[in-house]
Amino acid sequence: MSLSLWLGIGPLIPLLGALAVGFLGRQPNLRDGFGAFTALMLLLWSITGFVQFNLSHEALLWNAPLIFASPIEGIPLAFSIEPLGLCFALLASSLWLITHLYAIGYMRAKQESHQTRFYVAFCLAMACLMGLILADNLLTLFLFYELLTLTTYPLVSHKGDEKTRKNARLYLMLLMGSSLLLLLPGILVFWQWTGSLNFTPGGLLDKDQPGVALLYLLFVLGVAKAAVMPLHRWLPAAMVAPTPVSALLHAVAVVKAGVFTLLKVTLYLFGAEVIHAQATLLLWLPALTILLASFVAMTRDNLKERLAYSTISQLSYIVLGTVLANSMGLLGGALQMLMHGMAKISLFFVAGVILIASGKTNISELTGLGRQMPLPFIIFTLASLSVIGLPPFGGLWSKWYLALGTVEAGQYLLLGVLMLSSLLNIAYLLSVPLGAFRPSAQPFALKKVPLSCQVSMALPALACILLFFAAEPLIQLLRPITG
């Protein structure tokens, strides 16, 4: 398959899937089956890319972008692929398939309304995500970044009551407002400085360009999808969405799209060396977010909200690695993108299963539930251990390289932050299963959990173990770009 054909059909698969799912709305079984088929096709597509383009990972695939429009003179809309995007595409598409299976069980068990709209919006969001991953320049990325916000709005506001609408409005206003107010001028200033927005290995900026840190700050804050404080409020607000949305979009796709944007901007526009030399002061933004979000997570009793704050904290690990911008930090950040996604989606799936079975959303109400249904809480424990960064789980590698990155940069205080945060992770994550396995006064009345939910809940957690042993190929793939 030629590269441009492969690039072209990537976003088309979920787009066509959205159309088909929309047309099949009256036959739920056919509709959901076709949704799964679409997700499977996308997975095959990304595996094809992995197999076909991994062979020559020295010769990165910069030279053959697929240009499909030109809104502004000198800046076309174009697709291309590089290793980081390939990894993200593989992660997102494999987790989409699992999430879709989970969603079929979840949406039916909860008897949610407007399921067709839900699946259509889901497909559209995935199409936007693919466009974002494949973006060859910052303008293309910006386009799909905004579209991703828009297409996820119906998913966040799915329930449609007053509280949901209020939260969904906050979600949209914060994400889109920050991108229009901060990211857009950032892009423009970059365009003025360099006359190009094309992602180029090594970056485009001169080493002694003044004002880099200030411009970079516009990006770090403007890409609010990375949820760096103080622009993080949208993520807890988005938890009003159905669990599959929180799981895939607000633990993997949307938030990782944010840090992916920052990684790409750092690696291919600013240049890692420039950021490493000039943006040291900005390190404290993610460092503070890591700690503050962890502390807030400990105070939250709503399980999904606690997980959301945990996500905010863990995302800032990636931002930290990105702003460190040395090879270890970047590698750690890129790995954390994959490892955390894999582990966190499992945690959300468990939260959804608990909701289906017992109707409980608060951690304090779960006492004793673990004795009646141990499986979800065992999986929760496994995934938590990966998030914390203990062996034998994939999460170890990302934390390991991030720690090495801080040492390499001589930032021992930041190393301390990472260590402290790991302790906090233990406190707020493991307290959930610990509480659940305590004996309770009266038994819960449990509903049946669909098999598809149980299976898809377990798969990513098991993948975390697999990733501990099989991280080497990923590291090999990412090494050339992180230096």
Residues lying near other proteins in the complex (CB under 8 A) are found at 69-73, 77, 139, 142-143, 146-147, 150, 154, 157, 160, 165, 169, 172-173, 176-177, 180-181, 184-185, 188-189, 191-192
Distance between CA atoms of residues 324 and 280, nearest Å: 7
CB of 285 to other proteins, least distance (A): 21
CB of 154 to other proteins, least distance (A): 8
Distance between CA atoms of residues 192 and 211, nearest Å: 13
CB of 419 to other proteins, least distance (A): 40
Q: Compute φ and ψ for 331, nearest 5 degrees.
A: -65, -45
CB of 243 to other proteins, least distance (A): 22
Distance between CA atoms of residues 274 and 209, nearest Å: 9
- Pick 74 or 443: Cβ nearer other proteins: 74
413 by Cβ neighbours in 10 Å (0-12 / 13-18 / 19+) ranks as exposed
Among 294, 326, 469, CA closest to 404: 326
- Pick 16 or 189: Cβ nearer other proteins: 189
- Pick 61 or 265: Cβ nearer other proteins: 265
- Crossing angle of helices 412-436 and 374-388, in 10° steps, is 170
CB of 73 to other proteins, least distance (A): 7
- Pick 172 or 351: Cβ nearer other proteins: 172
CB of 153 to other proteins, least distance (A): 8
Q: Compute φ and ψ for 287, nearest 5 degrees.
A: -60, -45
Name beta bridge partners: 137.
198
HSE, CB side, 13 Å, CA atoms: give it for residue 444. Answer: 22
- Pick 150 or 475: Cβ nearer other proteins: 150
- Pick 45 or 144: Cβ nearer other proteins: 144
- Pick 220 or 471: Cβ nearer other proteins: 220
Asked if 171 and 254 count as a contact pair (C-beta separation under 8 A), the reply is no
CB of 180 to other proteins, least distance (A): 6
Asked if 64 and 115 count as a contact pair (C-beta separation under 8 A), the reply is no
- Pick 182 or 424: Cβ nearer other proteins: 182
Token pair in block for residue 283: 């390190």
Distance between CA atoms of residues 52 and 196, nearest Å: 29
Task: Count Cβ atoms below 10 Å from residue 59 Cβ, excluding itself.
Answer: 10
CB of 131 to other proteins, least distance (A): 10
Token pair in block for residue 57: 């990972």
- Pick 57 or 169: Cβ nearer other proteins: 169
Residues 6+ apart with CB under 8 A from 358: 366, 369, 444, 445, 446, 447
CB of 146 to other proteins, least distance (A): 5
CA distances in angstroms from 164 to 154, 160, 172, 239, 397, listed in the order given:
11, 6, 12, 9, 37
Asked if 322 and 269 count as a contact pair (C-beta separation under 8 A), the reply is no
